[in-house]
Amino acid sequence: MQEENKGRRDFMGMALGACAAVGGVGALYAMKRTWDPLPSVKAAGFTTIDLATAKPNELMVEKWRGKPIFVLKKTADMKPNDRDIVIGSDRFHVSIGLCTHLGCIPAYVGVEHKFKCACHGGQFDASGEVLKTPPPSPLVIPPFKIEGTKLVLGETGPEYQKMLDAGLTA
Ligand code: FES
């Protein structure tokens, strides 16, 4: 009889232990979910753009931290600029798509190779340099890192750091 009780106690002990272990794992998972950033926050931090899909003189507009991002693959007849992102033999202009005057979104006019801002008539060339005021400065280049043909926005790679040190990003 005593043996039978002991067996039952052992079983109860093990069952309780298993429940506690499962509960513990569940609690850890719940805590991890609480501490992890929300997917939207993660997405807002970094944006990866595959430049292999870009077509010459066709503006791609992506989004990074709620801002429009201009990606323009340059054609051979567009003037090279130290602000270009160079991948292999291709050159790209990448910038935050907000006019540096008062923040309107300029439109890209492909036949003229210009960004034109409808708000007060400002214009930028295909490298984001000011062609016509009132914008006080070029389109801003966001922090980026090159990974193969991909661009990770929000990370500072050596190419961005070089531009930053040379005062070319804004
Ligand atoms: Fe672009 Fe004023 S906001 S010219």
- Ligand 1 near 120 CB (within 6 A): yes
Q: Is the pLDDT of residue 83 over 60?
A: yes
- Ligand 1 near 117 CB (within 6 A): yes
Here the tokens at position 159 are: 């190419």
Using the atom order of ligand 1, give the atom closest to the CA of residue 104.
Answer: 3
Q: Report yes or no: 76 and 98 within 8 Å, Cβ to Cβ.
A: no
Q: How far apart are CA 92 and CA 32, in angstroms?
A: 40
- Ligand 1 near 91 CB (within 6 A): no
Question: What's the pTM?
Answer: 0.74
pLDDT in tens, 105-143: 999 999 999 999 999 999 999 999 999 999 999 999 999
Q: Is the pLDDT of residue 96 over 60?
A: yes
Using 50, 70 and 90 to split pLDDT, how confident is the model at 41? very low
Which class is domain 43-165? Answer: mainly beta
Mean pLDDT of 29-49: 59
Burial of 114 (0-12, 13-18, 19+ CB in 10 A): middle
- Ligand 1 near 97 CB (within 6 A): no
Q: How far apart are CA 166 and CA 159, in angstroms?
A: 11
Nearest protein CA to atom 2 of ligand 1, as residue: 120
Q: Where are the domains of the chain?
A: 2-36, 43-165
Using the atom order of ligand 1, give the atom closest to the CA of residue 103.
Answer: 3
Using the atom order of ligand 1, give the atom closest to the CA of residue 117.
Answer: 1
- Ligand 1 near 131 CB (within 6 A): no
3-state secondary structure of 9: helix
Q: Report yes or no: 164 and 152 within 8 Å, Cβ to Cβ.
A: no
Using 50, 70 and 90 to split pLDDT, how confident is the model at 90? very high
